[in-house]
Structure 1
Amino acid sequence: MRRIGGRDIVAAILIALLAGAIFMSPPLQTLQGLSLDILTALRGKLIGDRRDPANSPVVVVAIDGETYDTPPFKGSPTQTWTREIGRVLGSITEGGAKVIGFDVIFPSSIEQSEIPFGDTSVGSRMKGFDRDYLIALRQISDSGKLVLGDILSNDHPEVPYRAQQVAVRNSIRALNVHTDADDVIRRMPLSFSIEGKPVPAMGVELAARALGAKPGIAPSGSTELSGYAIPSAFPNTMTLNFRGLGRDVPTFSFADLRACVEKGDRDFFRRAFEGKVVLLGTVLNFEDRKLTSMRLSGGYDGPPAARCALPAPERAMQRA
């Protein structure tokens, strides 16, 4: 690692002072976000990577390009993946994960399809297809280790289909983010008012379950967790602090984990997930990726995690 010299430190201080002045100057408040982006990039340049992904309390299970290219998922609509998702979730839970959060929403079921098929519909012919998946959701949710996600909106809310909501007994938390005027995400909401009551956002809910605590409201009005008041520069939000620039949170391919279930390697799931907070989401190059305060830092999705059953794709090996 390159040593940080006196010139670097002086430059860092000057840039920090300039960014701070920009942040506090009312006429230049439109540059507040840019100052945070610059400081994030500067810290990454001077400090570099100092966090071992193996020690991360959080891991990602990614429905990624590899998953879409791997049998039995290749060529199959995602509505038909539910039973395999349930099997993987079950193995992750048995491996000792603290809690699993869905950063992906499945708004429909193949059992709901009204596409004609002979003298009936596809959905009618597929009744019971999601049964095993829903049973898995119920069992994991009843243990307090599963939270589904939704998107709150007055116009176009996105929610899991009704059977999932019932299966998890409405253990669902919002995935909404706070987007600044320049379309960059730099803060996350801590809670939302639902029917007049504050309900924790997904991130707060997962942290609370991992700690075995309940979020509350401190006398100052800030969100409190295990006696710790979460700092909020703006009311009810937390500024994102990408200390590892996305390089310290390992990412498992869902395709490899499904193959690991087939292989029956329980030890792998224990080594990979014991004591971890797990996020299930999509990581796809063709998605409309959102900008964050890492946009000037060269941050990227987490490093590929250990493999269980399938060889690593060549592109993943190159990126590592």
Structure 2
Amino acid sequence: MRLFKALLIVVVIGAALSFAGFTYWQSRLTSPIAIDEPTLYEVPRGASFNAVVGDLANRDILADDWSLRLLAKVSPDSVPQLRAGEFMLKPGMSAQEAITLLGSDKVVSYPLTIPEGWTFDQMRKLLAAAPKLSQRSEQMSDAEIMAELNHPDQRPEGRFFPDTYRYHKGSSDLDILRQAHARMASELEAAWEGRDEDLPLNSAYEALIMASLIERETGADGERGEIGGVFKRRLEKGMRLQTDPTVIYGMGDDYEGNITRADLRRATPYNTYVISGLPPTPIAMPGRAALDAAVHPAEGNTLYFVAKGDGTHHFSRNLKEHNAAVRRYILNR
């Protein structure tokens, strides 16, 4: 009887110690990590679970690493396969919540905004300056980039949709270019399929060129369709488009902020004061509104417009009205 009581006492004490140990272990898993503000942590590519929890403990973010190592042994389904990348640890997270985050798809991402009306050269410079973006195209020519994107037959200007794209550390500039190219192809296809029937345009690419001219002429939402209408009517009448942005684009690095009469007479493939019809390629990246204006130009009878100096334009029906507007808004300013 005494032996039985002694064994019972041993069992009870052992159970109590086991329960206390289990409770302590659980408290280590659920206790908050030791940070006072959001902290960026990067899981290196190929790092093991034990290496990561050991590193977190060495940085004093975790109070210990044994609790998570034990969890991985006794309940391997409770710990995720860690994902390489940057993660944002937040105050108040438990050790278990932190390690769950490191195995999730909540990788820190960064925004990159490509403005409407920018050129491909400007886009390349923006990509080159983007933090934590792997630079794979830096030494490539424009033609090599298009070949890498599986479009060796295309000129790059205008082929990328201006928008905000997100990337994470380890992404490359070519990843952004692929997304923007696919997006423009989709937007252009949709615009062309829904186009007006009476356009003086022969292809979706010509619509893209037209949209780039509209984009470069105005940033005023209410004017894009009207400018598209002017360009449509001028093409129908066999008039030259005579749009200054094409002159500037054709001048390239020679442009220093002003256009002279000599510049207007300079023969370049893009100078619509010299050439008839559209230039050979887009001159910028048009947004959705400019694409819409190119395929749905506003009806009317205006053939000219001049900048008023406030971001908008004055539209005229004939040359006499236009010359009067030029004197009012340009010569007298």
- TM norm structure 1: 0.20
User: Whose relative contact order is higher, 1 or 2, with alpha carbons under 8 Å and at least 6 apart?
Assistant: 1
Greater gyration radius: 2
- TM norm structure 2: 0.19
Q: Kindly indicate which of the two structures has a greater share of residues assigned to strand.
A: 1
Q: Kindly indicate which of the two structures has a greater share of residues assigned to helix.
A: 2
